[in-house]
Amino acid sequence: MSKSLFQAPRGTRDILPEEAGKWRSVLDAFADLAEGYGYGQVISPIFEDVGVFQRLGENTEIVSKEMFIFHDKDLKSPQELALRPELTASICRAYAQHRPVTPWKVWYSGPQFRYEKPQAGRFRQFVQVGAEVIGEEDPATDVEVISLAWRFYESIGLKDVALLLNTLGDPATRTAFNHELKSYLSSRINELSPQSQITMEKNPLRVLDSKRENDLEVLGDAPTIEEFLNQADKEHFDSVRDGLNSLNIPFEITPRLVRGLDYYTRTTFEFISTGLQTAQNAIGGGGRYDGLIEEMGGPPTQGIGFALGVDRILLACEAEKLEIEGTKPLEVFVVDMTGGSHATQIADELRKSGFGVDRSFGGRSMKAQMKVADRSGALYAIIVGDDELEKNEVTLRDLRGDGSQVRVSRSSIEKALNETIEGRNPQ
Ligand code: HAM
C-alpha cells in the first residue's frame, strides 16, 4: 500500500471503529459512576485565554514548554489563546465566572493537548476523564474523590493499580519546605545531574521526582515534607488515611511524590498501573489546590480533584488482557437480490423499531453480499430474492449460530426476530 499524502500529526492518532467502541464504554462507565456519586458534567471550551493556564505555574513544563498557543483573528484586541493542556484550570475559571453553590461537584471528559515528546503512552493529544470538588475543606471530600477514581478502575476490571499518596501541606508549609529543599540541594549542587541542577533553580520540588542515580544519592539525605507539616496539615492527612482505610482502599505513602503541576496543596495522589511496563505508567493523578481559584480572580476557595488518562487506561487494560466490551453487534444485515429498494425499506422499518441494521449497496451478487453480512458481525441476515418477493416473504438466516434459516412473511419480520433473539438470550 502506498503511503498516503497526509498522516495524523505527530503525537496524535486516529481511533478507528474497532477501538472506538472500547473508548466509549470506558467513557460511559466513568460518566455513569460520577453521576451516581452526585457529580454533574461540565463541558468547557477546548481553548482558553492563555492566562488561565499560566496560573498553573510559570515553572511547570506544561506551561513553559508544552502549550499549543495561537492568536485569535480579532485585529483590534488580539487575544492569546491556548489549547487546554488539562481541565482543572478551566473548571476553576468556570467556577470563578459563574460562582455556583458549593460544594460544586463536577466531572468532565475530553481531549487535552501537550507539546510533549511522544513515546509509548505519551501523546500530544490525549483524553482525560476527571472530577473536581470546589469549595469544600473537609478531608472526607479527599476520600470521596480518591474513592471515585479507585472504584472506577475497579468497575472496568483493572486490578494492577497502586495508589500513591502524599501531602504537600498548606501553601505556607509548601513554601517553607521548598525553600529548605532548595538550600539543601544548592549545598550539594555539584553532585546533582545536569538536568536537576537546572530544575533545582526553577522548581526544587520537581528534583524529588528524579530517578537518576546520582540524584537519588543526594535525595536520600534531603529534608522531607513530614518535618514541615503543621498540626492542621497532619490532622487533615490522618483523616484522609483513616477514611481510605475504612473503605479498604490500599495506598502507599510516598513522601517524594511530586506532581507535575504547581498548584497542589495538602493531599496529592497518583495511580500507577503496575501492569504497564513502560515509563509512562501513571494512569491518573490529582490532589488539592486550595489556592488556584483565587489565582483565577475568584474568592479564596478550596478545591480537590483528579484526572485519569484514558489512553493509558486502555493500554493498562490491554496489558492485563482485559476484554473491554466494544461496540454492540448489529442484529440484522439485509441482503437484497432484487435491486436494493427492499433493503432500503426493511432496514428503515427495523431501525425505527430499535434494531441495529446494516445492508449492502450497489446490487452485488449474493455471495458478495453474504460476505459483507458476515463481516458486519450481524446476528441474522434477512434475504430478499425473487422467490421471496413473489410470495411477500423474506428468508431469515442465523449468521452466528448453526446457519439455519426460515421463511417468514414480510409483515412478521419483527416478530420473528424478537422471538429468535429471545431464544438466543433466554432471561
Ligand atoms: P496530570 O498528572 O498532568 O494531572 O494528568 C493526569 C493523567 O493524564 C496522567 O496520570 C496520565 O494518565 C494522563 N496524561 C497526562 N499527560 C499525558 C500524555 N501526554 N499522554 C497520555 N496521557 C497523559 C492533571 O492533568 C491534573 N489536572 C489532575 C488534577 C485534577 N489535579 C487536580 N484535579
How far apart, in whole angstroms, are the C-alpha atoms of residue 295 and residue 52? 9
388-407 residues labelled b (16+ CB within 10 A) or e (exposed): bbeeebbbbbebeeeeeeee
Angle at 71 between CA 66 and CA 73, to 5 degrees: 160
> What is the pLDDT, as a whole number, of residue 214?
86
Tell me, in angstroms, the distance from the centre of ligand 1 to residue 209's CA. Answer: 16
Query: 360, 335 in Cβ contact below 8 A?
Result: yes
Q: How far is CA 72 from the centre of its chain?
A: 28
Tell me, in angstroms, the distance from the centre of ligand 1 to residue 178's CA. Answer: 23
Query: Ligand 1, atom 31: nearest CA belongs to which residue?
Result: 286
| C-alpha cell, 237 | 492527612
For residue 282 and ligand 1, the question of a CB distance below 6 A is answered with: yes
Tell me, in angstroms, the distance from the centre of ligand 1 to residue 130's CA. Answer: 9
Query: Ligand 1, atom 25: nearest CA belongs to which residue?
Result: 86
Query: 305, 91 in Cβ contact below 8 A?
Result: yes
> What is the pLDDT, as a whole number, of residue 60?
84
Range name among 83-97, 108-122, 188-202, 365-379 with the lowest pLDDT average: 188-202
Tell me, in angstroms, the distance from the centre of ligand 1 to residue 163's CA. Answer: 15
How far apart, in whole angstroms, are the C-alpha atoms of residue 370 and residue 380? 11
Q: What are the residues whose beta carbons fall under 8 Å from the beta carbon of 54, sequence distance 6 or more? A: 63
For residue 291 and ligand 1, the question of a CB distance below 6 A is answered with: no
Testing ligand 1's pocket by substitution, the residue of 68, 112, 263 carrying the most ligand atoms inside 8 A of its CB is 112
Query: Ligand 1, atom 14: nearest CA belongs to which residue?
Result: 309
Testing ligand 1's pocket by substitution, the residue of 128, 164, 293 carrying the most ligand atoms inside 8 A of its CB is 128
Q: Which residue has the higher pLDDT, 133 or 60?
A: 133
SS3 51: helix
> What is the pLDDT, as a whole number, of residue 338?
96
How far apart, in whole angstroms, are the C-alpha atoms of residue 124 and residue 129? 16
Q: What is the pLDDT of residues 351-396, one digit of tens each?
A: 999 999 999 999 999 999 999 999 999 999 999 999 999 999 999 9
Q: How far is CA 64 from the centre of its chain?
A: 24
What is the mean predicted confidence (pLDDT) over 132-148?
A: 98
Q: What is the pLDDT of residues 206-221, one digit of tens each?
A: 898 888 888 999 999 9
Ligand 1 atom at minimum distance from 116 CA: 19
Q: Which domains does the chain have, with CATH numbers?
A: 17-170+230-319 (3.30.930.10), 332-424 (3.40.50.800)
How far apart, in whole angstroms, are the C-alpha atoms of residue 229 and residue 234? 6
Query: Ligand 1, atom 10: nearest CA belongs to which residue?
Result: 284
What is the mean predicted confidence (pLDDT) over 276-296?
A: 92
How far apart, in whole angstroms, are the C-alpha atoms of residue 337 and residue 384? 6
Tell me, in angstroms, the distance from the centre of ligand 1 to residue 263's CA. Answer: 14
Query: Ligand 1, atom 21: nearest CA belongs to which residue?
Result: 122
Query: 268, 168 in Cβ contact below 8 A?
Result: yes
Mean pLDDT of the chain: 94
Q: How far is CA 400 from the centre of its chain?
A: 34
> What is the pLDDT, as a whole number, of residue 427?
60
What is the mean predicted confidence (pLDDT) over 88-102?
A: 96
Q: Where are the beta strands (DSSP E) in 248-355?
A: 252-253, 265-273, 282-288, 303-309, 332-336
162 class by beta-carbon count within 10 Å (0-12 exposed, 13-18 middle, 19+ buried)? middle
What is the mean predicted confidence (pLDDT) over 135-144?
A: 98
For residue 312 and ligand 1, the question of a CB distance below 6 A is answered with: yes
